[in-house]
Amino acid sequence: MPSFRGLTDGDKAQVDSLKLYGVRSCNIMGLLMGQKGEENLENLFWCDGTSRLDYQAFGDVIVFDSTYKKNKYNKPVVIFSGYNHHKETTIFACALVCDETIETYKWVLKALDEAMFGKQPKAVVTDGDKSMREAVKVVFPNATHRLCGWHIQQNCLEKIKIPDFLNEFKTLIYGNFTPERFETKWLQVIEKYGIGEEKWIKQTYETR
């Protein structure tokens, strides 16, 4: 981004030389970060030409996901991904951020919007994080927000430890039901396993 282009001529020459000898962009970025001082690293956004092209073709639906401080910087990593025409996962961009607040996520989404020449997604899939949801509303107001089925299943495994219920729960998530039919099936399954008063079940139903 223009306001963050602080590379010196020496840095640029070093990057060009490393690229010439086949060093990958992520490794070059890591080298520069090490030279500049890792303790100052925060809110770093990255994409390349290939990911930009992929986004233009396949970026109508994107997954907005974060992994929680599992890197040596102890910072959340945001990944934007989707599927291509071969049903393969495609990475559009990633970011290393200082925290998981609404303002930080707004910054990440605005960086994505600018990097992708203003092409906005039609749908954004998240794990249900409230800060992500609010940031999407502000930066991509016309996008539909959807919950990730995989994350819902993982939460179900953790919160409701009944294997048979998980199988029926997956059918409820992915089944082709009318709203009326879903409501009927939901009540039948909940009553069958006697979990209607479970906190997670109530929250999941309310956010459906």
The residue ranges of the chain whose pLDDT is under 70 are 1-7, 36-37, 39-41, 68-73
Sequence-distant (6+) residues with CB within 8 A of 127 are 65, 147, 148, 151
- Going along the chain from its start, the domains and CATH numbers come out as 1-40 (no CATH), 42-147 (3.30.420), 149-206 (no CATH)
Question: If we measure between CA atoms, which residue out of 41, 29, 112 comes closest to residue 72?
Answer: 41
pLDDT digits (tens, 9 = 90+) for 72-96: 667 888 999 999 999 999 999 999 8
Helix (H, G, I), strand (E, B) or coil at 158: helix
Per-residue DSSP letter, 2? G
Return the axis-axis angle of helices 25-36 and 9-20, rounded to nearest 10°.
Answer: 150
Q: Work out whether strand 89-96 and strand 77-83 pair parallel, antiparallel, or are unpaired.
A: antiparallel
135 CB neighbour count, 10 Å cutoff: 24
Asked if 79 contacts 94 with a C-beta cutoff of 8 angstroms, the reply is yes
Confidence at residue 9, expressed as pLDDT on a 0 to 100 scale: 81
Q: Give exposure, 29-62, as e/b (b: 16+ Cβ within 10 Å).
A: eeeeeeeeeeeeeeebbebeeebbebbeebbeeb
Q: What are phi and psi of 11, to 5 degrees?
A: -60, -45
Q: What distance lies between CA 35 and its chain's CA centroid?
A: 29
Question: If we measure between CA atoms, which residue out of 100, 99, 115 comes closest to residue 45?
Answer: 115
Helix (H) or strand (E) holding 18: helix 9-20
Sequence-distant (6+) residues with CB within 8 A of 95 are 43, 44, 45, 46, 77, 78, 108, 111
Confidence at residue 1, expressed as pLDDT on a 0 to 100 scale: 47
Helix (H) or strand (E) holding 123: strand 123-126
Q: How far apart are CA 12 and CA 69, in angstroms?
A: 30
